[in-house]
């Protein structure tokens, strides 16, 4: 049974669901596994929760080092209060608090193309290409990950990220649990794992 949510978490939950339409099943898992009051900002207008974001403390692997960074998620404004410039100030506050926490960078993944320009203009984020789109099956099959074998999918995904030599945003096991539970519920999204004869996970495929 999940622990009761704090008043702040309840407001975050309701505004998140209003803006993004995520299911109670997903949000219950997220707020149980990942949510933190001290990494969440909520803005109020005349007593109404109108803006929300979370700046999660995570690590970025780069050149053999692990850097503390802020991973900004669920940036949203109540539909009735959109267009008033409320979010810009909240983003600035999140950057300030992340610096105070010791984070060396702030990262976010815009859900839509137009948001790249918004985040650049609003607070100075810079787009960085981190993936390649291809229709070549040969290119996909030629990709290789560090060789790992783990008892569970979560342990495997966590180990592969940490063993990779390429720069990686390192998901915590809790974040991976949320991702792997939610991914197969999205239309057109498929998650498959491969196991050895001994039953250990040694491969995973996220298909869109």
Tokens of 67: 């850097």
pLDDT of amino acid 16: 98
Say yes or no to pLDDT of 26 above 60: yes
Say yes or no to pLDDT of 47 above 60: yes
Helices 153-163 & 173-182, crossing angle to 10 degrees?
Answer: 120
Bridge-based pairing of strands 65-77 and 48-62 is: antiparallel
Which distant-in-sequence residues (6+ apart) come within 8 Å of 138 by Cβ?
Answer: none
pLDDT in tens, 67-99: 999 999 999 999 999 999 999 999 999 999 999
pLDDT of amino acid 9: 98
CA 123 – CA 153 distance, rounded (Å): 37
* Location of structure tokens 């008043």: 7
* pTM reported for the whole predicted model: 0.87
Percent of the chain with pLDDT over 90: 77
Over residues 96-112, mean pLDDT: 96
pLDDT of amino acid 131: 67
Burial class (CB in 10 A: 0-12, 13-18, 19+), 179: middle
- Answer whether 151's CB lies under 8 Å from 117's CB: no
DSSP string, 48-86: EEEEEEEEEEEEEEETTEEEEEEEEEEEEE-GGGTTSSH
The residue ranges of every structural domain in the chain are: 7-123, 137-207
pLDDT of amino acid 73: 97
pLDDT of amino acid 56: 98
pLDDT in tens, 172-188: 999 999 999 888 887 78
pLDDT of amino acid 1: 38
Does domain 7-123 fall under CATH 3.40.50.720? My reply is no
pLDDT of amino acid 2: 61
Q: How confident is the model at residue 208 (pLDDT cuts 50, 70, 90)?
A: confident
The answer to which of 37-46, 102-111, 140-149 has the lowest mean pLDDT is: 140-149
Cα atoms in the Cβ-side hemisphere of radius 13 Å centred on 25? 9
CA 3 – CA 33 distance, rounded (Å): 11
pLDDT of amino acid 141: 72
Q: State the chain's mean pLDDT as an integer.
A: 92
pLDDT in tens, 60-73: 998 789 999 999 99
């Amino acid at each position: 049974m999940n622990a009761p949510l704090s008043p702040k978490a309840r407001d975050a939950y309701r505004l998140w669901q209003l803006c993004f339409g995520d299911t109670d099943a997903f949000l219950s898992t997220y707020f149980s596994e990942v949510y933190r009051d001290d990494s969440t900002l909520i803005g109020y207008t005349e007593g109404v929760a109108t803006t929300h974001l979370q700046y999660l403390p995570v690590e970025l692997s780069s050149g053999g080092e692990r850097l503390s960074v802020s991973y900004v998620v669920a940036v949203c404004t109540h539909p009735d209060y959109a267009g008033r410039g409320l979010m810009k100030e909240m983003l600035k506050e999140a950057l300030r608090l992340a610096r105070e926490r010791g984070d060396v960078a702030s990262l976010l993944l815009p859900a839509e193309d137009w948001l790249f320009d918004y985040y650049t203009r609003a607070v100075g984020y810079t787009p960085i290409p981190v993936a390649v789109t291809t229709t070549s099956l040969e290119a996909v099959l030629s990709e290789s990950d560090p060789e790992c074998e783990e008892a569970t999918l979560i342990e495997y995904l966590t180990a592969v990220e940490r063993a990779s030599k390429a720069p990686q945003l390192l998901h915590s096991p809790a974040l991976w649990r949320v991702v792997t539970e939610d991914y197969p519920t999205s239309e057109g999204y498929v998650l498959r794992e491969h196991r050895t004869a001994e039953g250990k996970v040694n491969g995973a495929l996220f298909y869109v």
